[in-house]
Structure 1
Amino acid sequence: MSPQEKTAHRSNKHPRPRKARLTAVSTVLALLVALFTTAAAADVTADEPTEGPARFAPGFVHGKVAVDGGAVHYVRGGSGPALVMLHGWPETWWMWHKIMPELARDHTVIAIDLPGLGSSAIPAGGYDKATTARRIRQAVNKLGFTQAQLLGHDLGALIAYSYARDFPTEVTRLAVLETPLAGFGLEELYGISWHFRFNMSPAPIPETIMDDADVRTYLGMMFGFSHRPETVDREVYYAAYASPARRTAGYEYYRAFPADAANNQANAARRLTMPLLAMGGQYSFGTGVADSFRQVAEDVRPVVAPDSGHYIPEENARFVSDCARLFFGTGNPGPQPQPAACAP
């Protein structure tokens, strides 16, 4: 347990009165969960280590590498060019586990826990996406790669964009899933789902309202944004965000959105030239991801993932792995036909 987690744990020894569960916030959350969630996924693996051989598939290992702000946890397997995977909120590297073995046939797959989340150290600051991208790049370089292909979902896609923009000669291809870019459409979502402004609220507002007992209710609502909720390993993520310090790290990524938007707008003239795959779920963003990234990139290839909501890598893993193998130039697709945009 990190020093930050120990501090947060001590502060939670005397929880606030439980009458707060009768507040309007908890009532709304409970109603939303009833509407949008189903039974938890069966594929729960709480026994994955943080170092050494992985258990979810042969040939993968867990490790940690020191970067600015503290050590970053990663899971690595395969051989060949580096394919770096960056997860979204409220998830961890585990969101990629269904597609990692297939992509490791032709790549060195590196799935990273974002700083502050999963099993990575919790930085004292620097949750803006440009700073986070620099930390991820440090990890990639220390793992022996000066060039990489990037695959990011949600929050991870925002970080992957900053990585590609700030180090364009080091990123050969970029795939972004299920988010518009800050400063170029992300803000339009704030009125659609209240979790944006809740997470962005200054400390300690969300920290005080959301205590340990509320995690399953709140994150359960978030996983309701899936089209096939039974495919999402929500129990893994409930455990990953059980720590108050981890939840605060997640809020800090959201609190940095205004700074991210300003940074992206100020640097929009530095348009990306590498191929960019922009994928949205059929029942979520659809082509909206591509519409956003066309404002900052030259070669944007829109793809709509069928039979998926927000959590595409878990809801339709076969489609994502087949499309990614084509786009990243790694081999022939599987039996499922792919859009032309997936091709190299």
Structure 2
Amino acid sequence: MSEKSLNNELIGLLPGFKSEYAEVNGTQIHYVIGGQGEPLVLIPGYPETWWAYHKVMPVLAEKYCVIVVEMRGMGNSAKPTSGYEKKNMAKDVYELVQKLGFDTVSIGGHDIGAHVAFSFANNYPEATTKLIMLDTPHPDAGMYQLPMLPILGGNYTYPWWLAFNQVKDLPEQLLEGRMDLVINWLFDHLVYNKESITDFDKQVYATVYNSKEAIRASNAWYQAFPQDIEDSKSYGKLTMPVLGIGGSGYEMLKMSLPHTTSNLTLKEVKECGHFLLAEKPEAVSKEIIHFLETV
């Protein structure tokens, strides 16, 4: 099944949402939009697509116009050979927001998508009403201190893929048609409740990430980290309201966000791994709605 055929099948499972494309910042971006009300932009992370939000989209769309953006290199968006610095990817989203006719949006992201959302808020604060960070802070110089070897003992998952994805050319040669191996490993090791990610979900992501082009593009998100770290050094403290929701990444948010924000709300989701949109969609959607309505 082609990516577009798969996308059409998935859209059919979410009444009230439609799939759209826009030419922005020299590339083509795919997004899924539905609901009514104030705009809420949401960005997925690795190794997922817009489908990562499918459990929370119908709930959020009852109150907001939900726009789930597949960032540059993801899913049905274009996969150019450059432009994967999060500052530039934030420009992709900003130009999309402008094309949709919104002056301001609330924006959130998970994993790599959180990096893009954070960069959007820093580079376009006048367009950012509120920011939501899901389980992952923006890259900073602390990433250079990540261990080269697994740590014995304790509850620590060695993030080998951060280094592996830095390698150019080789991963796509090794993994073309075999990304199910990586995706299954990540979902087996980074969730608390393994049943929260179905075989269907895994197949959706494996289908989308299986090509050499998709592997090359998604790895480029990681290969841009050194530039992302440099860009972050020029960012001041964010002044708009910021919500950090963490499962296994809660401690990272707790360490990072107080230094980069001045109006912060932190929420921990207990008994939850990294993929909190799949594991705890009710808790996540409840916290997002409460934050958008009251803070």
Give the alignment's TM-score, normalised by structure 1.
Answer: 0.77
Q: State the AA in 1 paired with 2:23.
A: A
Q: State the match for 1:49 in structure 2.
A: 8
Contact 1:151 1:176 (C-alpha < 8 Å) held by counterparts: yes
Question: How big is the shift at 1:151?
Answer: 1.2
Identity of aligned residues (%): 33
Partner SS for 2:243: strand
Q: Which secondary structure state, in structure 1, belongs to the residue aligned with residue 27 of structure 2?
A: coil
Which one-letter code corresponds to 1:210 in the other structure? L
In 2, distance between residues paired with 1:242 and 1:153?
Answer: 21
* CA distance in 2: counterparts of 1:188 and 1:180, whole angstroms: 15
Candidates 182, 194, 201, aligned match of 1:218: 182
Of 203, 217, 242, the residue aligned with 1:276 is 242
Q: Of 306, 315, 322, which residue of structure 1 is paired with 2:286? A: 322
Say whether residues 1:167 and 2:124 are aligned partners: yes
Q: Aligned to 1:196, what secondary structure does the other structure show?
A: helix
Q: 2:258 aligns with which of 288, 291, 294?
A: 294
Pairwise CA distance, 1:295: 1.5
Gaps of 5+ in 1: 6-45, 330-342
**1:81-230 aligned within 5 A:** 81-183=38-140, 185-189=142-146, 191=148, 192-201=158-167, 203-212=168-177, 214-224=178-188, 225-230=190-195
CA contact (8 A) 1:153 1:176 kept: yes
| Rounded Cα–Cα distance in structure 2 between residues aligned with 1:260 and 1:49 | 33
- Structure 2 distance, partners of 1:183, 1:74, is 28
Over 3 Å counting, the alpha-carbon distance change for 1:164 and 1:190 in structure 2 is: farther
* Distance in 1 of aligned mates of 2:268 and 2:165: 28
Q: Which has the larger radius of gyration?
A: 1
Partner of 1:231: 196
How many Å apart are 1:54 and its aligned residue?
3.0
| Equivalent position amino acid for 1:208 in 2 | Q
Write the distance in 2 (CA, Å) between the matches of 1:62 and 1:133: 20
SS at match of 2:91: helix
Partner AA of 1:205 in structure 2: L
- What residue number does 2:208 align with? 240
Q: What CA distance in whole angstroms lies between the structure 1 residues aligned with 2:64 and 2:144?
A: 35
The 1:130/1:190 distance shift into structure 2, 3 A limit, reads farther
In the TM superposition, residue 56 of structure 1 has moved relative to its aligned partner by: 2.0
Letter in 2 for 1:200: Q
Question: Paired residue for 2:224, among 236, 239, 256?
Answer: 256
Count of aligned pairs: 281
The 1-side partners of 2:123 and 2:184 are apart by 35
CA distance in 2, matches of 1:325, 1:223: 27
Q: Distance between the aligned counterparts of 1:171 and 1:101, measured in 2?
A: 23
